[in-house]
Structure 1
Amino acid sequence: MESTIEFLEYHVGFALEEHDETHAYLRVGTEHHSLELVHDPSLTTFRYDGVGFTVEDEAVLSDLEERVRAAGHEVLPLTEGMKGLCQQGFAVVDPNGTVVELFTGFLEYAETPWPDLRPQRFVHPFVVTDRYEETLNFYMNVLGFLASDYVEDFTAFLRCEDRYHHSLAVRRADRYALEHACFIMGDLDGVMRRRARAQHKRVRILGDVVNHSASTSIAFYLYDERHGPRWELCDGHRVFTPEEHETHRPRRLKRDPRNIDVWRAASDDRTWAH
């Protein structure tokens, strides 16, 4: 775990907070943490156990709990670690076995960590799943996420109340996994400086500088199998206006490399395909 923390501090820009030999909280903004690491020597690769979402207030939390119960899902208590970090909340297991925690009053720090090319915030997890329809039904019809765009019947980009183009992306696959985690840098300069660090240390870049058509972000993806999924660092992720958030109709995009990265030269240019 120590080497993973070092990797995430240097290459992604996390600040290490509370930690011991078996557990660590890391953050990028004022929220108590953006990432929680748990040491498990039995693992041969990383495991994605859970994700948390802050909800606006007690009324929204209560409504979500009713929707979860009505859909036949078991309402679970928050994990022990989260209970002391928020005012109230509950957990539910999604169709892939991932624990989703919903809560209000998440603890925060007065200031962001000392500047060091740090991301501004965590934007989204991108998961692949062999339960694509069930996963979309859970997040959209139970938890209330909205579709921003689809790539045929293959990928869905879902947004929530922060109005980012997607706070969750789901892709059809023959397995379940966290494919990547995305963080917004403050500007393009920060993205390119992080990319330079990865190149300098010869860290693999799986998806070099790309211009996403759906979210309008410019990003790159770095990867070391010893330290989790791919880490996406981006700038310019689209934020819907309040009006767009209410009226937007999702597009159904063709599975064409140019619909993932507008800088691809042609429909058969798979220099990098998501």
Structure 2
Amino acid sequence: MPASLKLRSIAIGVTDLAAAEQFYVSTWRLAPVARSEDAVYLRGSGAGHHILALHRSEQPDVRRVDFVVEQHADLARIADGVRTHAGRVLADAHDNAEPDGGIALDVQDPQGRHLRFVHAPALQAETGGADAPVRITHVVFNSADVAAAQAFYERALGFSLSDRTRIMAFMRCGSDHHSIALADADANTLNHIAFVMPDLDAVMRGAGRMSDAGYPIEWGVGRHGPGNNVFSYFIGPDDFVIEYTADVLQVDDSYRVGKPEDWTWPAGRFDQWGVSKPPSDRIKQAQKKIRFTHQ
């Protein structure tokens, strides 16, 4: 029986912790819930304890991606799957020392990404902020070998493929169309982090707020094909690519897996609506540069 997973948060290294906190609180609209000398934990308007952790760092990086598991027994199943399918267990189930608590399992996928699975973490009361991100809905990883990465996430962790385009494999672990996606690339880096907003209006107001603060839209606003979600992409501090999104397609096992030929656009079109301009050259570079560390 595969583990029941839910994407919860991402931990990133930032070169100016105070400035990054200011941005993600004042402009991106998250809220601080805990801090240490070298880290700040930020929540969305949903029930997750935090959805973004900022860590003081000499260079921008991705420290870890966290998932919540429903059952304590899921941790052992995940550890066994990781060991069987060429991953690495960094720390078997242990008391989580970070502010969300619970029991944590730390693993590394075959391409070097640190993943944490937490059972029974602390929760927050939902705030329902109209223009605040609710949660992280997906993280996109660049992969030098998408087929190998896809096989690991399917066989070791129980993910399912929702769609395969010419350049990306969209993988789900719940009802969201995808919680991770694997993008064909030359290196195993971060592509972007997607924060789901309450609705289309919240995406548009957030885009206006970002523009007012000096962060132009780098791609969008538009509606994707796979996932059907509205998107608006930006480059945040330290060149992390971040997305406001809404209307994420909800699927189950009856969903027909799409193939590359199912997802093609006419020449010059970059979204379903046909209104989005192409991704900027700046975002194309930023989507390749943030590396994963093993801290």
TM-score (norm 1): 0.85
2:76, 2:188 → 1: CA distance? 29
The one-letter code sitting in structure 2 at the alignment partner of 1:198 is: M
Instruction: Decide whether the 8 Å contact of 2:95 with 2:102 is kept in 1.
Output: no
**Alignment map for 1:101-180 (pairs within 5 Å):** 101-109=116-124, 111-113=125-127, 115=129, 117-152=131-166, 154-161=167-174, 163-180=175-192
**Alignment map for 1:91-106 (pairs within 5 Å):** 91-106=106-121
Instruction: Decide whether the 8 Å contact of 1:149 with 1:156 is kept in 2.
Output: yes
CA offset digits 1:224-255 (Å, max 9, x no partner): 3x344211111100111xxxx22323111347
Partner of 1:201: 213
The one-letter code sitting in structure 2 at the alignment partner of 1:157 is: F
Partner of 1:252: 259
2:75 is the counterpart of 1:64: no
Partner of 1:37: 54
1:51, 1:125 → 2: CA distance? 8
Calculate percent identity across the aligned residue pairs. Answer: 25
> Of Structure 1 and Structure 2, which has the larger fraction of its residues in strand?
2
Instruction: Decide whether the 8 Å contact of 1:185 with 1:233 is kept in 2.
Output: yes
Offset of residue 65 of structure 1: 2.1
Choose the corresponding residue for 1:217, options 229, 232, 256: 229
- Long gaps (5+) in structure 2: 1-16, 285-295
The one-letter code sitting in structure 1 at the alignment partner of 2:104 is: G
Relative to 1, partners in 2 of residues 1:36 and 1:108: Cα closer, same or farther, differing over 3 Å? same
2:136, 2:272 → 1: CA distance? 24
TM-score (norm 2): 0.80
Farther-moved stretch of structure 1 (82-91 vs 59-68): 82-91
1:79, 1:176 → 2: CA distance? 26
Would you say how many aligned residue pairs link Structure 1 and Structure 2? 260
The one-letter code sitting in structure 2 at the alignment partner of 1:54 is: V
Offset of residue 79 of structure 1: 10
Partner of 2:249: 238
Offset of residue 73 of structure 1: 3.1
1:188, 1:199 → 2: CA distance? 17
Farther-moved stretch of structure 1 (185-194 vs 63-72): 63-72
Offset of residue 129 of structure 1: 1.8
2:122, 2:273 → 1: CA distance? 40
Instruction: Decide whether the 8 Å contact of 1:214 with 1:260 is kept in 2.
Output: no
1:139, 1:112 → 2: CA distance? 30
2:232, 2:195 → 1: CA distance? 11
Relative to 1, partners in 2 of residues 1:78 and 1:257: Cα closer, same or farther, differing over 3 Å? farther
Partner of 2:272: 262
Instruction: Decide whether the 8 Å contact of 1:215 with 1:237 is kept in 2.
Output: yes
2:75, 2:270 → 1: CA distance? 34
1:77, 1:71 → 2: CA distance? 17
2:88 is the counterpart of 1:74: yes
Relative to 1, partners in 2 of residues 1:81 and 1:115: Cα closer, same or farther, differing over 3 Å? farther
Please give the secondary structure, in 2, of the residue aligned with 1:26.
strand
The one-letter code sitting in structure 1 at the alignment partner of 2:155 is: N
